[in-house]
Structure 1
Amino acid sequence: MNPIFKENTAPALALIAGAALFSVAFNASAQVNYPAKPIKMIVPFQAGGATDVMARVVGQKLSAQLGQPVVIDNKAGAAGIIGTDSVAKAPPDGYTIMLGLSNSLMTNQFLYTKLPYDAQKDLAMVYRIAMAPLVLVVNPSVPAKTGPELLKYVAANKGKVSYGSYGIGAYPHLAGAHMSLTQNADMVHVAYKGEAPMVQDLIGGQIQMAFASALQVKGHLDAGKLRAIGTSGEKRMATLPQVPTLAEQGLNDEAYRVTGWLAVAAPGATPQPIIDRLASEIQKAVQSPEVRERIVGIGFEVQDNGLPPAFNAAYRQELPIWYRLIKQSGAKLD
C-alpha cells in the first residue's frame, strides 16, 4: 500500500472502526434495556376472531409483565399475507411482532405461487402458543360413527359425498382431499368464505362432512344436530375429552395427525437475545391459569413447550408434511 494513502486513510479507518464499535455497543445496550417503548403486535386477521381474541389476552398479560403497552394492530387480508408481510419488512428490533396462524407462517409458502416474503428467511419463530386441532363432524344422515366406518362409507358412495372447508388450502380442504384420494371416493369439495356458513350447510345437509373447530360445533354436537367422528392431532381435545382422535381409531396417516397452530413471530433479523426474552415472557403468560383457561375455552390446546428450539424443530419436521398435503390436493393460488 502507498505510505501516503495509508497515512491519509488511517484516521478514516479509525473513525469507521469507532463507529462500528459504537453501533455494537448501542445495539447491545438496546437489547439489555428491551423493551423501552410500546410493542406492536400485528394480527393478520379481522378483529373479533379467535386469533384476535388470543392476541388481546396474551398481549394484556405481556404488557403487565414487561411494563410496556402491547398494542394490537389488525391488518387483515389475503389469507393473512398482508399482515404477515408487514411484520417481515418491519425493523428487526422487537417492537413489531405478530400473532398468527400456521397458514400465514407455514402453509401459504406452498399454496401461493408468489408471496411478498419468505417465511423461512424473513420471519423468526418466537413462540408456539397453542395447537389448533379440529373435529371431523358429519351430518346425522351419515350412518358412520367412527373413523374406519366413515372411510368405508365414502368409499362405498363414490362421488356422492361432499365435504366442506373454509378456504382452498386450509386444513379441512387438505384433510378431506387426502381422504377422498386414499379411499378413491371422488368426494366433492365445497369451499366457503368462513367456518360459520360451512357449519350451517353441514347441519342443513347440503354437505355431509367437514373438519371444524370445537368452538363452532360443540353446541351443535350437544344438541344432536351433528355427530363427531374424531379429532385431528396427537391427543384428545380438552374441551371434547369424550371424542377420540382419529389416530386412536387407526387413522394414522400424517394428514390426520398434523394440526394447525397459533404462534408469535418477529422479523427474521431480530437479535436472538430479544427473541429469547419475548419467548420467555410469552411462556410465562401462556402458563398462567387465566390465559390457559381462555386458550382451552376457545378450542385450542396449550403448547407446553413452545420455546424457539422446540418450535423451530417442530417447524422443520412439519414442513414436508404440509408440502405433501398441499401438492396432493392440487391446491394453488396466485
Structure 2
Amino acid sequence: MRMRFGLAAVAAISTLAWSAPGHSDTWPSRTITFVVPSSAGGGLDSLSRTLASEMGKQLGQTIIVDNRPGAVGMLGTQLVARAKPDGYTVLVTHSAPLLNAPFLFSKMSYDVRRDFTYVSELFAGSLVLAVGKDVPASNMEEFLAWAAQNKGKVSYGSFGVGSLGHLMGAYLSQTKGLYMTHVAYKGEAPMVQDLVGGQVQWAIASVGSLAPHIAAGKLRAIAVLGDRRKEALPNVPTMAEAGLRDNEYKPFGWVGMLVPAGTPPEIVARLEKTARIAVGSTVMKARFQVFGMEPVASTQAEFLQDFERTAPMVERMVKISGAKAE
C-alpha cells in the first residue's frame, strides 16, 4: 500500500464536521478516554497518564488511559478509527501505526488519511541502542565485531513489527550483513524485561525505559539516536559519533494526538490548545527530563506538514531494510 500525502486534501478531511445542535458547546460533559496503543509500564504509557492528568485539569473532566497494545499499535489505532467522532475517544500514539505500518502491511483495517484528524505532534522520541550484560561490547566497534562473529545467532527486540526499533534493527542487520533475528513484542515494557533477562541480546528503545537498567548495570548503552547526546546519558555517544552516519539512524518517530475523522473542528481546536499548554507545563517538562523526551506541541498544520515530509523517508527505509509484516 502506498500513501501519497496531499496537505490540502488531508486538511480538508481533518476539518469535516460531525455535529448535533449544541453538541460541541457542551463538550466535555463526561469522561474522555485516551487510547494508548502500547502496554502499561512503558514510557509512552507513563507520559500519556501525566498528559491526561494535566489536560483533565484544564478541561474540568477526568481523562482515563486505555492501553491497547498489539500489532505495532494497529489494534488501538483501529479502535479509534471506528469510534464515534465526538471528542471522547482520543488516540495518543507513537508514529509506527500511522507512519510505518502502511509501508509494511499489505492490508490495513484503517486509512491513515481518511479515518483521522491530526490534532498535535506532542513530543519526539529519544532512543538508545543497548545490549544485555552478557554481550561482550561496550562500544559500537566491539558490538559490530561481536555480531559479525555470531552471524545468524544474534536476536534483537522491538515493541512491535514495523516499530522504529524493528526498522533500524533490520536496516543495521541488512547493511552490515549480520543476519540478526527480530523478535517482536506487544509493547516496550515486555521487550525491555526480556532484554534484561537475556532472551534477546540488544534493542533500540526509549531512553526512559532503558536508563534505569543501564544505571543498575543490567544493560549497557552503546549509542543514542539523534544529532546530540542525551541529558539522561551524557557519556553515551550519538550513532554518528559511534561511526554510523547514515540518515536512517536519525530518529523520525514522534508521539501524536489524533481523533476520529469528522470530530467537530471546535473540539479539535480545543484539544490542540489544551494539549499544547499541557506539554509546556512544569509537570510535563519534569517527566520529559526523566524519559529523555523532547517536547514539540505542534499545531494541526505543523503536524500534517511533518507527517508529509517524513513519510517518503520511512518508505525508503522500509525498502532498504527489507522489513515486511503480515
User: Deviation digits for residues 197-223 of structure 1, max 9, x if unmatched?
Assistant: 654554565644321333333233223
Shift of 1:156: 6.1
Matches within 5 A, 1:115-194: 115-139=108-132, 142=135, 144-147=137-140, 150-151=143-144, 154-155=147-148, 158-159=151-152, 161-192=154-185
Q: In the aligned structure 1, how far is the partner of 2:152 from the partner of 2:278?
A: 48
Shift of 1:249: 3.7
State the percentage of identical aligned residues: 41
* Counterpart among 282, 287, 299 of residue 280 in structure 2: 287
* Counterpart among 75, 93, 103 of residue 96 in structure 2: 103
- Higher share of residues assigned helix: 1
User: 2:8 matched to which residue of 1?
Assistant: none
User: 2:263 matched to which residue of 1?
Assistant: 270
Q: Which blocks of at least 5 consecutive residues in structure 2 are unaligned? A: 1-16
User: Deviation digits for residues 30-89 of structure 1, max 9, x if unmatched?
Assistant: 55x362422333233454444333333212221221223334344454443333223222
Could you tell me whether the CA contact under 8 Å between 2:81 and 2:260 is conserved in 1?
yes
Once the two structures are overlaid, the 10-residue window that deviates more, 203-212 or 87-96, is: 203-212
User: 1:236 matched to which residue of 2?
Assistant: 229
Shift of 1:179: 1.0
Q: Which amino acid in structure 1 is aligned with residue 85 of structure 2?
A: P
Could you tell me whether the CA contact under 8 Å between 1:58 and 1:286 is conserved in 2?
yes
User: Deviation digits for residues 248-293 of structure 1, max 9, x if unmatched?
Assistant: 4442323210243222101123344432221111010111111221
The TM-score with structure 2 as length reference comes to 0.80
1:83 aligned onto 2:72:
no
Q: In the aligned structure 2, how far is the partner of 1:171 from the partner of 1:215?
A: 16
Matches within 5 A, 1:20-39: 30-31=23-24, 33=25, 35-38=27-30, 39=32
Cα separation, partners in 2 of 1:183 and 1:57, compared to 1, 3 Å: same
Cα separation, partners in 2 of 1:144 and 1:266, compared to 1, 3 Å: same
Q: In the aligned structure 2, how far is the partner of 1:207 from the partner of 1:104?
A: 24
- Relative contact order higher in (CA < 8 Å, ≥ 6 apart): 2
User: 1:319 matched to which residue of 2?
Assistant: 311
User: 2:34 matched to which residue of 1?
Assistant: 41
Once the two structures are overlaid, the 10-residue window that deviates more, 300-309 or 122-131, is: 300-309
Q: Which amino acid in structure 1 is aligned with residue 209 of structure 2?
A: Q
Instruction: Find the residue that maps to 2:118 and give its secondary structure.
Output: strand
Shift of 1:319: 1.1
Cα separation, partners in 2 of 1:268 and 1:135, compared to 1, 3 Å: same
Could you tell me whether the CA contact under 8 Å between 1:130 and 1:300 is conserved in 2?
no
Instruction: Find the residue that maps to 2:106 and give its secondary structure.
Output: coil
Cα RMSD over matched residues? 3.1
Instruction: Find the residue that maps to 1:262 and give its secondary structure.
Output: strand
The TM-score with structure 1 as length reference comes to 0.78
Q: Which amino acid in structure 1 is aligned with residue 310 of structure 2?
A: E
Q: Which amino acid in structure 2 is aligned with residue 310 of structure 1?
A: E
Cα separation, partners in 2 of 1:120 and 1:236, compared to 1, 3 Å: farther
User: 2:293 matched to which residue of 1?
Assistant: 301
Greater Rg by CA: 1
Shift of 1:229: 1.2
Matched pairs, number: 308
